[in-house]
Structures are given as C-alpha cells and as structure tokens.
C-alpha cells in the first residue's frame, strides 16, 4: 500500500457536492483507498440517491447520502451531526467541494447575485468548518480540504464572482491552516485543474481537460502529503507562479486581456 492510500485507510470523509463530478470522484477514490465510511452531501436528491445506492452496492454500508443546502448554516450543522453519527463519532476529513462557476458581465450582476455566489462558494465552506471543528477537536485532529480554483490565481473577465469567491476561500484556508496547526487540524486549498464536468454548462470543456477521476487522484495525493496548496494540473500550478510575479506582469496582462477581448466578442476563451 502506498503512502497516499495509507492516509485514507479506515477514515471517515465528508464530501459536499459529492453526488457528481469531482466530489463523486473523490468519494469513489477514497473508498478505493480503504476509507471506512464516506458521506456524500448534495442538494440534488436524485443524484444523491442514485450514487449512494451505487456505492453501497459495491461496498455495503460504507456510504451515506445526506441532502443538504450548504448555504443554510442550520442544515450544515445537522448534516455534520448525522455524518459523525454514521462515522461512529468521527469525521477525519471534510472536503468543502460544493460550488458553482458564476459567470457573467459585472455590470449586469446585482448585490443579490453576489450574495448568492458568496453564500455557496464561500460561506458554505465556513459553515462546514465551523460545524466540524468540535468533532475534530474531540477526536484529536482532522483534515479540512477546501476546493478552490485556478481562477483564484488567474482572475478572468466575465468571471468576477467566481474569481472573488475562490480567492476569498483560498485566503481563509491558508490563514486557518496556521491558526489550527497546533491542534493537529490540517487545512489545504486544492484546485481541481481543468476538468470535464458540468461546471462548463452548455460550453464544451477545453481541449486537454482531465477526467474527474484524474483530478481526484491528484488532489488526494497532495492532501495526503499535507500540502498547503494542491494543484490539480500544471496549468494551475504555472498560473499560481506567474500571476503575482512582477517579472511576468506584461505576459499575464497580455494573456488575460486577450481572453477578455475574445469573451467580449462572444468567443469563450480560457
């Protein structure tokens, strides 16, 4: 057994946005690594029922599906309570994965739109962290993984809400990493990389996109090493190195301006 697999063996993991895409791939991969229990959390009841039944058919009694709106703090508290009960009092890993892309032109977005974006992509994670901390403290530690995006390092035109919410989530994660370090509670930010999932909507995923399963394996490998930032692919890693590097400013400006102009013409570019 490799080091990555050993890290997840016999553990209890909670995954929000767990009934599809990267969340589901994380769940399946963690189970294949020998996790004891996995809790799928999702707002889509049909997907939740289908996937939890499928996973339990393969590994009876190891998966629980919980319907939860992560933008509602009371629902998140209740979900964490159910998850801990299913995990025999433990939650070793929390993956705050639920989120959405939130594109559109800034001038057409209302305060209500911004509130919805932050409710899902930012406050949903805060509610999860706040609710799981008592469980992790009581058991002597744990690991919280917040799924951000490469957009946090390469903010793009017509994705202002997505860029802002994921950058905020990254800042929260890294600050809390050191605040909670001495309590043996680890925190990691992870980007999925460019992945072919439903987040692209009616737009075809970019050429070379990886599968959710490939992304999940990359994320789980970095988490097992307690990496501060896990990058789902080299594009995200490269973007993080260059976006705030003064020596690369001209190239970054040129690239992002080109993307903005194409999008203004109705050409979706990345």
In angstroms, rounded to a whole number, what is the distance separating the alpha carbons of residues 164 and 182? 29
Token couple for 33: 């690594």
Catalytic residue selected from 7, 33, 154, 162: 162
Q: Where are the beta strands (DSSP E) in the chain?
A: 12-16, 37-42, 63-67, 93-96, 142-147, 185-190, 229-230
Q: Where are the beta strands (DSSP E) in 43-140?
A: 63-67, 93-96
Q: Is 162 a catalytic residue?
A: yes
In angstroms, rounded to a whole number, what is the distance separating the alpha carbons of residues 15 and 6? 19
Burial code (b: 16+ CB inside 10 Å, e: under 16) for 43-68 equals beeebbeebbeebeeeeeeebbbbeb
Q: Please state, as a whole number, how many other Cβ atoms lie within 10 Å of the Cβ of residue 74.
A: 10
Q: Map tokens 């400006």 to a residue.
A: 253
Q: Do residues 74 and 131 touch, judged by C-beta distance below 8 A? A: no
In angstroms, rounded to a whole number, what is the distance separating the alpha carbons of residues 232 and 230? 6
Catalytic center residues: 162
């Amino acid at each position: 057994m490799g080091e990555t697999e050993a890290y997840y063996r016999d553990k209890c993991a909670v995954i929000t946005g767990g009934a599809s895409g990267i969340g589901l791939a994380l769940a399946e991969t963690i189970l294949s690594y020998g996790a004891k229990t996995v809790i799928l959390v999702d707002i889509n009841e049909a997907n939740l029922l289908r996937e939890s039944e499928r996973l339990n058919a393969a590994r009876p009694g190891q998966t629980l599906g919980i319907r939860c709106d992560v933008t509602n703090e009371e629902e998140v508290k209740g979900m964490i309570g159910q998850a801990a009960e299913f995990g025999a009092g433990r939650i070793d890993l929390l993956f705050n994965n639920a989120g959405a892309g939130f594109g559109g032109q800034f001038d057409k977005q209302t305060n209500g739109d911004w509130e919805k974006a932050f409710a899902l992509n930012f406050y949903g994670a805060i509610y999860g962290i706040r609710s799981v901390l008592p469980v992790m403290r009581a058991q002597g530690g744990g690991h919280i993984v917040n799924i951000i995006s490469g957009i946090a390092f390469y903010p793009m035109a017509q994705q202002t809400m997505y860029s802002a919410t994921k950058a905020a989530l990254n800042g929260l994660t890294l600050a809390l990493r050191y605040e909670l370090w001495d309590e043996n509670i680890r925190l990691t930010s992870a980007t999925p990389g460019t992945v072919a999932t439903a987040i692209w909507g009616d737009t075809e995923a970019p050429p070379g996109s990886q599968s959710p399963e490939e992304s999940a394996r990359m994320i789980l490998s970095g988490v097992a090493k307690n990496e501060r930032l896990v990058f789902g692919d080299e594009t995200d890693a490269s973007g993080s190195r260059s976006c705030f590097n003064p020596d690369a400013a001209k190239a970054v400006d040129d690239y992002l301006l080109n993307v903005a102009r194409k999008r203004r013409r109705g050409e979706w570019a990345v």
